[in-house]
Amino acid sequence: MKAMRAARLITILALFATAFAAAAAAGGSAAVGSAPKNVHGFLLRPNESASHTFPRTPAFAWNPVRGAMCYELQLATSRSFQDGTVVWSNVSSGTNAGRICGGNKLNIPAASISLTLPWFTGKPYALYAHVRAVTGRGPSAWSKPFGFNMRWEELPVPMAARPGLVRWKPVDGATSYQVWYTDIRKTFSTHTNVADQRELYIFHDDPNWYSTVRWRVRAVRHVLGEIPNGLPAVSYGPWSPVYATTNPSLTSGPLVPRVAVSDVVSTGWRDAAHQLMPALTFSGADDLNGTEWPLFRVYAFTDRDCVNVVFRGSVFGGPAFAPRTSGPLTLPTSTEAIDLATIGVLASGDDEGAKTVSADGTELTSNESKTDESSSVRVDLPDVDAKTTRYFWTVVPVGISVTDSGAFQYVDVDLPQDACEAGRVSTFAKLSKPAITASRTPYVSGLTPKGRLLAIAGSRPVVYSTPLVTWQPVVGATSYEVQWSRTTYPWRTVGKRETLATASLLNISPGLWYYRVRGLNAAQVGTPGMTWSTPAAVRVVRPKFRVASR
């Protein structure tokens, strides 16, 4: 009998030693308990149709683990999750690894990652996520990896434009676009869905340059947020097919502002607001004295008298101007350079490359110009109340003068104030759409008081612990701000968070709360804030405990 007990003891010790060695080989400490199951990504609700391809950074969810104090998540470019492949992690390190809940603590079986992941595809997957629970007895085993790809959902397709413009439907997940004029081998960048054809008009009198313009466009996704393993900072969707746009001959006569074009087309006060800074179109080429000119500059103002400038375009040719983020055209600074421009195409640069001045002699800097290496161009405008407020805009001719030293400078022929006073003025409204945080019921996920992770129903969802909220993306937003308050009116911000994703965990105490979301547009003049969503309610309740026998 003693011999049998000894044999059993030896067998148990051998199995324990084998398990300990395997755990040590896997991560340095023995795993405790079963691994989390059903790890998956989602955009709005954790119970939406399963997907392994996302146009923007997903949130993640998994089944709860009994006894979990928190969860640890790793996102990597390899199923091995070696250090060099990790994109995001909240795993604690050192002697406390797997025993305490470190930074970016996940209290519920769900996570939002504040990263703009690049478009990245593999065979079958390019990115992987896995999760483990941290319990009072140590870490559980890691879950089975969830593989997924980041990919655009559609190619840009053309929309009806106006002379001198190309226009396309925005692509979900894009942070900007590249446009390629194939016949002249010129590419440039824009953050909006419209582009002018300035290269094809400026210093070109022959209509063959601009009568038919062939172009392609592709969506661009810039990585925002810190990624330690060296993923590319910029990723691209495929180029669209070659599209062709035809333009009529240039018109003569007085300059007359026409329509503003972006996601919508507007001509006056009562028309719909634009989500992004629109392209501005006009006809004619004459100054206030009736003299015809080939170069132009557009201005936008906050007042009808056209005194308070909020946007100043760069010098261009053609019947339309649309802002770019890749810089203005580099203007010729000599007669020889102008002669070359008549048979070639001007390059783009950080600034206009020549001195530009207003009609009153004030030196000008375009909104498209970079003022220093660290600056970003501000080519969009803040939102206004579209029912009561408009931006006023005008266009003025630009001439070339030669100083006593022989230097070329580009001079506004008319003062914008005089042009507006003479009636050469139009308006447009700029108003971003609010983030959509609900469809019938808010996009809120969390633990129920019974410990299940669900997409919570009802106009006032009830969750235990931390709620995870999601929203639909906003055109033009590069990041988002979430705020929460105890009341809707007056709104008193108790906490706030910025995120690069379209999801966020709210660390709020028990009680009734309201949250709201707005996009942040880094290209806007002044404040980047866009329109707030309608406040949505969520109630956090305390957990209920019961004594369980052992």
Q: Which CATH number is 64's domain given?
A: 2.60.40.10
Write out pLDDT tens, residues 123-137: 999 999 999 999 888
3-state helix, strand, coil in the chain (%, to 5): 10, 35, 55
| Domain membership flag for residue 335 | yes
Q: DSSP letters of 269-284?
A: TTSPPBSSPPEEEEE-
Range of the domain at 45: 31-150
Write out pLDDT tens, residues 66-86: 889 899 999 999 999 998 999
- Do 190 and 110 fall into the same domain? no
Beta bridge partners of 127: 148
**Average pLDDT in the 493-500 region?**
96
Pick from 99, 138, 113, 133: nearest CA to 41: 113
Rounded-to-integer distance, Cα 236 and Cα 221, Å: 6
| Domain membership flag for residue 360 | yes
| Domain membership flag for residue 320 | yes
* Residue found by looking up tokens 């104030």 in the block: 417
- Do 355 and 477 fall into the same domain? no
Write out pLDDT tens, residues 85-99: 999 999 987 666 666
| Domain membership flag for residue 424 | yes
Q: Is the pLDDT of residue 267 over 80?
A: yes
Write out pLDDT tens, residues 275-292: 999 999 999 999 999 999
Structural domains of the chain, count = 3
* Residue found by looking up tokens 């925002």 in the block: 224
| Domain membership flag for residue 129 | yes
| Domain membership flag for residue 268 | yes
For residue 229, count CB atoms less than 10 angstroms from its CB and return exposed for 0-12, middle for 13-18, buried for 19 or more: middle
Is the distance from CB of 481 to CB of 518 less than 8 angstroms?
yes
Final residue of a structural domain among 375, 398, 428: 428
Q: Is the pLDDT of residue 529 over 90?
A: yes
Residues 6+ apart with CB under 8 A from 413: 287, 291, 293, 359, 396, 397, 398, 399
- Do 74 and 114 fall into the same domain? yes
**Average pLDDT in the 532-542 region?**
94
